[in-house]
Every structure is written in C-alpha cells, then in structure tokens.
Amino acid sequence: MSISTAPVVLSSTDAGVLTLTLNRPEVLNGLTDDVLDAITDGCRQAASDDGIRVVVISGAGRGFCSGQDLRAGLESGDVDIRGHLRDHYVPMVRAMRDLEKPVIASVNGVAAGAGMSVALAADFRIAAESATFIQAFVRIGLVPDAGSSYFLPRLVGTAKALELAMLGETVDSAEALRLGLVHRVVPDADLGQATADFAARLTRAPRSAGLIKQLISHSLDSDLDEQLRREEEAQVLASESEDFAAGINGFITKRPPVFTGR
Ligand code: T3D
C-alpha cells in the first residue's frame, strides 16, 4: 500500500486565474470523492472571491481525467451510487455551472467517462493535440453521468451524442475540434501558454461575461418568452455594473475601457 500526502488537487491563483490541477497522475487523475469535492470547493471559492475571474481545470501527468476511480470501492458492488452521485458529482457540476465566471478545461490528455463530463461542464475546452475523449461509461456497463448526457447532445447534436455514448469509441483532438467538442487544439508543448493566454483574455472581460454564461446556459432549455425575460433581467444587472459605465465612458472618450468584473 502506498500512502501519499500530496493533495489530490493542486490549487494555485495567479493574476486572477484559479488553476485546479487534478493530481493523481498514476491513475490518469481518476476521480475520488476528495477530488470531486476539491473541484466543488475551488469553484465555490472562485464564486466568493472577487480577485478570481477565471477557473482553469487541468490534469497532472499524461492524462486529463480517467473518470471515476474504478478501484475506489465500486468493485465491491456495495456502493450507494445514487447517494454518491448526489453527494459528490452533482454538487461539482452545479458548482461549475452556477459559477458566474468562466471555467476552462485545459485538456492535456485522455478525458474518459466522468473525466469527459468534467471537460464538458466547463465553458471552454482547450485541448492538446494528444488529448482524447471517451464516453467510457458504456465500456463498463454504465450510462453517461456527471452531466455528459446533458452537455454532449447540446454540443454535438443528439445523433452524434448517441453514437459516442453508445459505442464508447475514442475521439481524437482533431475529430473533437471538427465536432465542436473543443474550442481550440494546440500542440502539446503549447497547451500551458495557450490556456494562460486564453484565461488572461477572460480576466479582462466585464461583469456581463458571467451573465452571458448564465444566459447561454439556459437558452436551449427555455422558450422564447422565458429567454426574453432572462435577457431583460440580465441586461438590467449588466447596465447597473461599474463595467457598463466604464464601457460607455470608453466609447465616448475613445479609450479602451478597463473592466474590473464589478
Ligand atoms: O461512482 C459512481 O457514482 C459511478 C460513476 C461513474 C462515472 C465514470 O466515470 S464511469 C467511467 C470510469 N472510467 C473508465 O471506465 C475509464 C477507465 N480507464 C481506461 O479505460 C483507460 O485507462 C484509458 C482509456 C482512460 C487510458 O488508457 P491507457 O492505455 O492510456 O492507460 P492505462 O494503462 O489503462 O492506465 C494507466 C493507469 O491508470 C493504469 O494503472 P496501472 O495498471 O499502471 O497500475 C490504470 O489501471 C489506471 N487507471 C486508468 N483509469 C482508471 C485507472 N485506475 C482507476 N480508475 C480509473 N478510472
């Protein structure tokens, strides 16, 4: 038995970016309760800290995340799956989606099962060329969870989502880009810098960026009237922000506005 004292998720903050690095490289960052709860806590911390403007999730070693750690008790057959999902997976997905700040998945390697779900629950996915995506659930007789069955059809359409989830085949980064699963694919060696550049750009976004995240998130679940109401509410909030005042002033004075996220 090996006992590790290293944190299962490394957390660091720099220039407004909170980076959460899944840190179980020996199992391609398989998800345990501690890992799931640390992602949840990180997103909640970002929600309450004005200094954090963007969250980045990445993986240590050659994998992004291999999904549920299959050696963390599942094999005993004596697991309360419903409770496990409700107590650990659902809060993580909600924390990522409810956060009114962008979350970037910097996908450095394989994203399998719920590891792919983590990537899909993010707002942006930047993938290394060697990254792969696998709806691995079906390979072990499970169904997509942690939001995969929600996010996947919205990103690639129901026909392709069904194929990916039912066949569980490996999707490489070029195909992921073609399908619209990821926003960018970069050479492996450039992933860190490309993610940092993308995140830095988002740290300069106005308060309305978080409201835009919520509007687009709800869009496909709303009818037109409901979405028009949501736009109205969000626009009122945006128009009351300091960043809107800065934006208007910037337009009039012909100087680029400096947004603070307030
Ligand atoms: O609990 C609940 O509520 C249920 C929720 C379930 C959600 C899910 O995520 S279900 C899906 C779980 N994930 C999988 O089924 C993926 C399992 N892993 C793989 O299929 C392969 O490892 C990969 C395709 C991801 C990568 O393959 P490869 O060849 O690059 O690496 P490898 O040699 O298979 O893995 C390297 C090591 O990581 C290896 O350990 P070893 O043999 O060197 O000691 C392997 O066992 C370990 N590993 C990889 N994935 C997992 C894992 N160990 C535990 N859990 C894993 N998910």
The model scores a pTM over 0.75? yes
Calculate the alpha carbon distances from 191 to 5, 54, 101, 106, 196 in Å: 28, 17, 21, 7, 8
Residues 213 and 238 in one domain: yes
Q: Is residue 101 part of a domain?
A: yes
Nearest Cα residue to atom 15 of ligand 1: 136
**Quick one: pLDDT at residue 2?**
41
Q: Assess if residue 125 is contained within a domain.
A: yes
Q: Which ligand 1 atom sits closest to the C-alpha of 146? A: 7
* Residue 1: per-residue pLDDT: 39
Is the pLDDT at 127 greater than 50? The verdict is yes
How many angstroms separate the alpha carbon of residue 189 from the centre of ligand 1? Answer: 24
Q: Which atom of ligand 1 is nearest to the CA of 67?
A: 9
Q: Which residue has the tokens 């976004």?
A: 205
Beta strand extents in the chain (DSSP E only):
9-14, 17-22, 54-59, 63-65, 103-107, 110-112, 124-128, 132-134, 170-172, 184-186
Domain that holds residue 232: 208-253
Q: Clarify whether residues 176 and 219 are in a common domain.
A: no
142 Cα–ligand 1 center, Å = 14
pLDDT higher than threshold 70 for residue 4: no
Name the pLDDT band for 6 (thresholds 50, 70, 90): confident
List the CATH number of the domain containing 120: 3.90.226.10
Nearest-CA residue for ligand 1 atom 35 is 27
pLDDT of 259 > 60? The answer is yes
What proportion of the chain, given as a percentage, has pLDDT over 70? 97
**pLDDT one-digit tens code per residue, 87-109:** 999 999 999 999 999 999 999 99
Both 154 and 67 in a single domain? yes
Residue nearest to atom 33 of ligand 1 (CA): 27
Is pLDDT at 212 greater than 70 in this prediction?
yes
* Cα 68 to ligand 1 centroid, rounded to whole Å: 8
Domains identified in the chain, total number = 2
State the pLDDT confidence band at 5, using cuts at 50, 70 and 90.
low
pLDDT at 76: 67
pLDDT digits (tens, 9 = 90+) for 15-49: 999 999 999 999 999 999 999 999 999 999 999 99
Chain-wide mean pLDDT for the chain?
Answer: 96
pLDDT, residue 77, reads 67
Residues 43 and 139 both lie in one domain:
yes
